[in-house]
Structure formats: structure tokens, C-alpha cells
Amino acid sequence: MPPQNSPTGQQKILLKTEKYAFLGHIAVQNPTVSAKIVENLPIEGVAQRWGEEIYFFVDLAISNGHAILEAEEGDIAYWPEGPAIAIFFGRTPVSTGSKPKAYSPVSVFAHLDKIEKEKLNAVKDGERIVLELAKE
């Protein structure tokens, strides 16, 4: 994994849409998935919405690490069936409780530092979206 650039020892990432930027950090629960994503940054795609989830298709084939169905708000995950990157910030159409739920298992590799629902909800289908390492 490349050198870390955060005082807490976690690599910082930046998720950019046409109007907003969201800072986050690489998570520790899926080191293999995280490393593969980081080595391919920047990753760019076209935003699509599914409830309070934004996702975009990517040209990556990564084996699903510690996969989950129920995510936390702010989780950024790799979805191998897309393949896609998914940003969870609230309920999805398959949620049964208050937490976001993926359509099928995902591997969380990062987490938003701050969940700005109003801005995330403003992201529209078809917007350009980029995930990159944050500059110090």
C-alpha cells in the first residue's frame, strides 16, 4: 500500500462530483480490496442513484473481501457484481431498518469523514464522479 498521508495513519481520499467534494479515509476491514482500489486511483465514472446510495460502474475485478449486506452511513464499498463503487448515506430500496442495505454483498474499503446528506442527495444520475487520493 502507498505511503499514508493522514495524521491518524489512514490514507485520505476525495470523492468529487460536479458540484461537491467529500473527504474520507481508507478503512481497515478489507486491506486487499482497499489496496487494489488505491493502486487504481483515480477512478472515474457516471453517478447513478439507488435510494440513498450513489454508485458508479468501474472496470476493476477484485475478489470480494469481508463482504457485508448491511452497511453504515458513510461507507464506501466495492460491489463485485457491477462491478461498481457504492457510497451509502441512508436507506436503500432493500433496507429493512434504518441502515443502508446493499443489493448483494459488498466490501467496504473506505468511509466518508462527514455525512452531508443534503449534498449527497443533490447528486443526480449522470453526473461525473471521481474517487482519488486526497492531497495533503
Q: Which domains, ranges and CATH numbers included, belong to the chain?
A: 12-133 (2.40.100.20)
CA 5 to chain centre: 19
Q: What pTM, to 2 d.p., does this model score?
A: 0.91
In order, the DSSP letters of the chain are -PPP-STTSPPEEEEE-SS-EEEEEE-SS-HHHHHHHHHT-SEEEE-EESSSEEEEE-S------S-EEE--TTEEEEETTTTEEEEE-S--TT-SSSS-EEEEEEEEEEEESS--HHHHHT--TT-EEEEEEPP-
Average pLDDT of adjacent 10-residue blocks, the chain of 136 residues? 43 96 93 94 97 96 88 96 96 95 96 96 96 89
